[in-house]
Amino acid sequence: MISNYFEEWEVKPEFEKEFISIFNGWLGKDNMHKLDEVKENEWSKFNDLVHEIYNKYKINIVDLNENNYKTAKNKDEITEIYTASMNKDASQFSKFIIPELECVLTEEWDYTYILWHKNNGAKEAIAPLITKVGLFNFNE
């Protein structure tokens, strides 16, 4: 059920956040220019991550407008196109439920995704996949 994960368009507050980024931590004011230097091949690592997760776990694609989700039947359903991704607003960001790990993966601003978890091993299960595709994970 979507209500196990979301409440009024937001991931429920009982979930912890693990940030996933092409950068190894927060950039800060002095390094904000690096956002403008991101190339398509770096950005595509997020597609690589979602594909790695898909290869190992069932992924549900969340549609908050309809208050439901559907199971991804193939990688094309979860693959983003760079040019389209650069022009979408926050309401169009990808949101996935990984039921086996009882966690949520959401696309966010500034080349960052968030793994929402309950300290039940999801973060540890996804961490090797994050490293494999060349991304970084950290928490606040």
**What's the pTM?**
0.92
Burial of 33 (0-12, 13-18, 19+ CB in 10 A): exposed
CA nearest to 103, candidates 16, 19, 22, 3: 16
Count how many Cα atoms sit within 13 Å of the Cα of residue 129 in the half-sphere of its side chain: 19
CA distance 40 to 115: 22
CA nearest to 15, candidates 129, 97, 137: 97
Give the pLDDT confidence of 120-140 residue by residue, as tens digits: 999 999 999 999 999 999 997
Position 83 pLDDT exceeds 90: no
